[in-house]
Structure 1
Amino acid sequence: MYESVSRSRTLSDWLSSLPIALVLLLVIVLESSSMLHSRLLAIGGELWPEYHELRIPDQAPACQPDLNIDHELIELLANQQPDVDDELSLFDEEPVDPAVLRASLERSQEECQRRHAEYVSHQSQVTDGLQYYAAFEEGIAAIGDLGLNASRYILMTLLLVAAASATLLRDHIALRGIRTVRDLQVSSLAQMAGNALLLASSLAYRSMQEASGIVPDFQQYWIQWGWIIGFTVLTLISLLQYLRRPSGLVPGGTMGHALLCIPLYSWMALISGVFFILIGHLPAMTIYLGKMLDLSGLFINVGLYVWIGMLLKQTRMASLVFDLFRPWRLPPEMLAFLAIMVSALPTAYTGASGIYVISVGAVIYQELRRAGAQRRLALATTAMSGSMGVILNPCLLIVIIAALNKEVTTRELYGWGLWLFLLSASLFLVVSMVSRRASLSVSPVANAWPETVNTLKKLVPYALVIAVMVLWYRWGLNTALDEFSAPVILPAVMLAVVILDQWLRRRESSEREGNIIKDTELAVRHATGEASVHIGALLMLMALSICLGGVFDRGDVVSMLPEDLSSVWLTMALLVVILVLIGMIMDPYGAVILVTITLTGFAFNNGIDPLHFWMVTLIAFELSYFSPPVALNHLLTRQVVGDDEVDRGAVSGSFWQRYERFALPLLVMAVTLLLTAFVPLLFYA
């Protein structure tokens, strides 16, 4: 199941892996520094009770603690004498009470003496050790602040560098892989046109700002030039790929198949670019890319999660988890159900189906095939494994919904999400078991249990390393593993797991397969190179889906909807269709933002409960991931499994057998969506 790679370090290896590795490691260092800074403040407070005051160099108070109150009182009273020249004043000043003035001076002197005493006390506690500690703590704080200020640069660099890798390797997300010369020509021309439109938008945006007289600040200036340089490079890469003819491509090809090879992001760029040109606002594409940078932390996490999955792919941990079930000789359908259940939690942590399919989809597919599952069932399960858990705690997508919509809470969404997950998983089990072709017999417990125990023993070292790393963050940095800290903690955990895995392989070298990666550095380099391609493909799709959302926004599509349908059932039916269509052409993050802006008011005004609306939205998005013509999860499955393997799954037979990999997810999620959308209306419509 592991790919064989050369142990030599070529220039292409360095170009595809080193820049992305540096960017991702920089993110981890910057985010970890914020955790470390919080912990250092807590430790400083334990070592020096007044550390929060002592850490900042103090200056002596400017007031006089030994002030002569009698003398000061005489001067103040003299200054309070009425001005004899001010005879035209409409109001006479009230006489000053010396007793009140003396009391005020005494209180001021007491406060001054207290401040001086505090200053002397602080100075007596400031030691060389405290100063060194405070300097170190402030240095860590500065690193954390750098991370906050540089997040937009980091995302732009991650997006453009990874996109260049995906373009060079012809690995962007498309409906069909490149196989013929015409496929390459059409795909390269479309990418060149899409990238050129993005470049033109960046130049138009810069010209618009110069014409308006607005002087961009330092960050805006370099972000503008970053887009210009990045899209220029992507355009040139596409041009070179059009001019060059790599070996291995079949001569000829049809235009119909070639159009399917155009990456989805290129279609989105062409549609968005043409629309904004027609309305005379070409800079809008760059403006909407800026909205992506406003959520830089969220999209940087996408890259981190993909890297986590690629690191996991280099270990035997996923294979060992499936080895727990192998001795029981479960029917493939039952094993597919368990794969979906096991995948739910990591999907919830990643928060978007595409990330999980890209990360570990190949592992799931290979393990199901090893267990005897038909290709079509393995492909369907792989596609579904990445979306079933997006409605579970602690999915970040639900956090975004709750943040943008005060009508619902994360607790409500997570609570109902659990029930809907159990519903969809149960439907998957029922449908797959009804269409099964194998018996339901399993191995006797006496035969299967000993092998399961042996596999559990092999998993113990991995579990211990994971536990140690998570507890170190919890106790060492006072940071628990949750949806916010997972993107930073899990890469460190997986690096430790990779090191452990390679150490165990060296101990078992006599049993080692010939194609298993042995060297830790090679494993990390290979995982990072593979991650860079997937990061580029996914982030470009997300970026252009936001631009495509801008087309709906500027086109004022929501105004086409009637204000009052006078039927909650008709409203829900219309919403279901619209939500599925939106999910088919946009990534979930951009889709949630678009739905919040355009559809929530229409739904609520027509009697749809807010909690019900958002649960329907999430399930509709899940269904759209499997729906033609895009079927994003199937495209991602094809990308990680390979075109040849997917084509071998297209066998003859009944309609269900020929199209099971499409029909099974569609049937399960369509039934789930219909039940979610219309059954609750029976209780409150």
Structure 2
Amino acid sequence: MIQGRMSRSGLEWFSSLPACLLLLAVVLFSTSSDIHNQMLRGGEQMWGGYYKLRMDPVKPQCEVIQDVDAAVAKEMAEAPPADDPMAALLGDFEKDPAEVRLAIERSAADCRAAHTSYAELQDKLTPGVKAYRTVELFVADLIAFGLAAQRYILVILVMLCAVTATLTRHHIAMRAMETRLDYTVSMTLQTIANAMLLGSSVIFRQSTLASSTALSSEEMLLHNFWIAGFACLTLASLYRLVRVPDDLEPGGSPSKAFMAVPLYTVMCLISGTYFALIGHSSGIGIYLGKMVELADMFLNVGLYVWVGMMLKQTKLATLVFDVFRPWRMPPEMLAVVAVLVAAIPTAYTGASGIFVIAAGAVIYSELRAAGARRHLALAATAMSGSLGVVLRPCLLVVVIAYLNREVTTDELFGWGIWVFVLTATLFGIVATTVNRQSQFNLAPGSEAFPASIRALRPLIPYVLVIVSVVLLYRFALDVKMDEFSAPRLLPVIMLSILLYEHVSRKRERVAASEGGHQGLERSVRNATNDTTAEIGALLLLLGLSVSIGGVIERSHIMEAFPQAFDSAWSAMVLMVVILVVLGMIMDAFGAVILVTATVATIAYSSGIHPVHFWMVTLVAFELGYLSPPVALNHLLTRQVVGEAEVLAAQAEEGTFYQRHERIIMPLIAMGISLVLVAFVPLLFYAV
């Protein structure tokens, strides 16, 4: 949730501009690899054997033998006599003239071929080839630099955005800082946690230096980046602790004050204390270093957030909702439609929390504009990313298949479709029957259908822009739109849409003061301003959840449970509880890694089918993200829609269900889904 904001004007040059450049660099480096592949293919098509022309050919050092007979005679003359005792001692035996001739002829042929190849390559090495080669080798060097720089970009981006989130009080917590006591407790513990992160990184660096393994300059630089980043983060929280804002209420409750402490701070204090008690003070630094090993995945998270913030700057979401407005759907049905439509982009972003951060504000604002009550809009926003994680081409499913040879992506995605149908159906039933407050008086088809068709027309240019970018990548770079290419295609698509809106508005001569488009530069700037704090809050939370996973792993908690159960039914009960709890406290990717190393083997040994187990895992994670006391997806919803909207919803009167609809409705839908997914299949194969 938003814990308050500083003026962004002073931070734009400090954080937003560098963050924008870093994100663009990620897109450039990843795209340059595709460009380089096409350049190699193009070079091979234009100049056969181009791979040999990438470097200047080296002239052969051998001399072409013109007189083979003379060379054979010379070789035979230099051979020692057969009765020479030294020759026998050294193993030199009399040479066969035929074999000597054959060897010389082969050597001469190889030498002539080398000289011929050299001459041909020299002839092919035209000015055009040299110019093309210069560009191609530059792109190759750019790729090599980009791959090496990924780790540093991630660390700089995390630290830069984390400092921004601290200065703007934008970290994710259970509630906002409303009183001076809230602020003091929260910022004090943040400062302690940040100092703990700094100390752990320093100890990790020193222990690495003291080890027998030689430390490369790149690894040393990475250690220094972490240390410098956490030092800046500690100073930022200390500055915030000293500079108390004037808009806070006096006094406060200690119990509420601790709820205003960011989740990453709580995770840091827990894991840091545990590692210190077991004499492993560098533990947090070690597990945070694991983020670097998955740098591309965490950078993709940043790109997805950036895409969502750019989506907020466009009219695309409003135009999509315009297609459904002529039917005059009740808010409950429109909420179901919004969640179903959101499933596809969720499948590309790979995790529900990422999608809520990226597009939650758009979904909430459009549902509210369509007449949905606050609780319903908040419930739909929190659940908007929960249905698509089982659909192709979700990266989370790919990670599961990569870590577990017992399952394949085809199996998981095949059953994922049925899980999606089940969860979507149950959410639709719950949303439209439980506590329904609107009449289902849809507009006549003869009236609504033509209006919907007319509403589709403004979407045609957007579709053409999207298709053009996808086809450009497909045919120019041979890149398909899938879970691997989506992180670099989506930013290009959104930038193209913003450019289209800028050009079309400029052509229509609609001034910004008259409600027109605000311009490409301002749209990108505003999107990046929102992105920096969101990335800092989210990535720091994800990084510390990996550390919590390390605590669970090192404490050997799972060893307290049986390594196999006699009954698959009793094993499934335990699995459901554990997986939901993990979903409450860890991010999806970190939890999958931990489950693979611990819980999965128990499930397999107990007779639970691997595909069934991972379907249950995905649904259980989503229920965990929606379940109090943490309810991460609700906290992320609060983060993007604003504290005022949530407080306004909480102030509304009504029955118990009506006052807590935003929490209860997703729990009912996902809870029933989990029970059905977990236990119904056991009826068909469990003994």
- Cα distance between partner residues in 1 of 2:400 and 2:544: 21
Aligned to 1:626: 626
Higher mean C-alpha displacement, 595-604 vs 204-213: 204-213
Aligned to 1:290: 289
Q: Which amino acid aligns with 2:370?
A: A
Aligned to 2:569: 569
TM-score, normalization by structure 2: 0.95
Aligned to 2:654: 653
- Cα distance between partner residues in 2 of 1:574 and 1:129: 68
State the shift of 1:192 in Å. Answer: 0.6
After superposition, residues 16-415 of structure 1 pair within 5 angstroms as: 16-77=15-76, 78-79=78-79, 81=81, 84-86=84-86, 95-212=94-211, 214-415=213-414
User: Taking structure 1 as reference, are residues 332 and 204 closer, same or farther at Cα in structure 2, changes over 3 Å only?
Assistant: same
1:65-108 CA distance string (max 9 Å, x none): 3353323333444436558344995x976654332332233233
1:232-255 CA distance string (max 9 Å, x none): 111111111111121211111111
After superposition, residues 632-643 of structure 1 pair within 5 angstroms as: 632-643=632-643
Aligned to 1:672: 673
- Cα distance between partner residues in 2 of 1:226 and 1:250: 38
- Cα distance between partner residues in 2 of 1:92 and 1:483: 64
State the shift of 1:452 in Å. Answer: 1.8
Aligned to 1:480: 480
State the shift of 1:16 in Å. Answer: 3.2
User: Taking structure 1 as reference, are residues 516 and 92 closer, same or farther at Cα in structure 2, changes over 3 Å only?
Assistant: closer
Structure 1 residues not aligned, in runs of 5+: none
- Cα distance between partner residues in 1 of 2:36 and 2:679: 50
- Cα distance between partner residues in 2 of 1:171 and 1:191: 12
- Cα distance between partner residues in 2 of 1:604 and 1:75: 75
Aligned to 2:590: 590
Higher mean C-alpha displacement, 622-631 vs 643-652: 643-652
Q: Which amino acid aligns with 1:535?
A: I
- Cα distance between partner residues in 2 of 1:653 and 1:500: 46
State the shift of 1:507 in Å. Answer: 4.8
Higher mean C-alpha displacement, 476-485 vs 624-633: 476-485
Residue pair 1:65, 1:109 contacting (<8 A) in 2 also:
yes
State the shift of 1:115 in Å. Answer: 2.4
Q: Which amino acid aligns with 1:143?
A: L
Residue pair 1:505, 1:518 contacting (<8 A) in 2 also:
no
Higher mean C-alpha displacement, 266-275 vs 113-122: 113-122
Q: Which amino acid aligns with 2:294?
A: L
Q: Which amino acid aligns with 1:365?
A: Y
- Cα distance between partner residues in 2 of 1:607 and 1:648: 49
State the shift of 1:50 in Å. Answer: 2.1
State the shift of 1:14 in Å. Answer: 2.1
- Cα distance between partner residues in 1 of 2:210 and 2:492: 47
State the shift of 1:167 in Å. Answer: 0.6
- Cα distance between partner residues in 1 of 2:324 and 2:191: 48
Residue pair 1:312, 1:360 contacting (<8 A) in 2 also:
yes
Q: Which amino acid aligns with 1:666?
A: L
TM-score, normalization by structure 1: 0.95
Q: Which secondary structure state, in structure 2, belongs to the residue aligned with residue 325 of structure 1? A: helix
- Cα distance between partner residues in 2 of 1:600 and 1:623: 19
Query: How many residue pairs get matched?
Result: 679
Q: Which amino acid aligns with 1:418?
A: I
Residue pair 2:178, 2:249 contacting (<8 A) in 1 also:
yes
- Cα distance between partner residues in 2 of 1:662 and 1:81: 99
User: Taking structure 1 as reference, are residues 513 and 456 closer, same or farther at Cα in structure 2, changes over 3 Å only?
Assistant: farther
Residue pair 1:502, 1:519 contacting (<8 A) in 2 also:
yes
State the shift of 1:508 in Å. Answer: 5.2
Higher mean C-alpha displacement, 67-76 vs 399-408: 67-76
State the shift of 1:386 in Å. Answer: 1.4
- Cα distance between partner residues in 1 of 2:9 and 2:262: 27
Q: Which secondary structure state, in structure 1, belongs to the residue aligned with residue 112 of structure 2? A: helix
User: Taking structure 1 as reference, are residues 81 and 249 closer, same or farther at Cα in structure 2, changes over 3 Å only?
Assistant: farther
User: Taking structure 1 as reference, are residues 126 and 210 closer, same or farther at Cα in structure 2, changes over 3 Å only?
Assistant: closer
State the shift of 1:615 in Å. Answer: 1.1
Residue pair 1:505, 1:512 contacting (<8 A) in 2 also:
no
Q: Which amino acid aligns with 1:682?
A: L
Residue pair 1:80, 1:96 contacting (<8 A) in 2 also:
no
Quick check: 1:556 aligned with 2:556? yes
State the shift of 1:460 in Å. Answer: 1.2
User: Taking structure 1 as reference, are residues 422 and 82 closer, same or farther at Cα in structure 2, changes over 3 Å only?
Assistant: farther
Structure 2 residues not aligned, in runs of 5+: none
Residue pair 1:324, 1:456 contacting (<8 A) in 2 also:
yes
Higher mean C-alpha displacement, 293-302 vs 451-460: 451-460
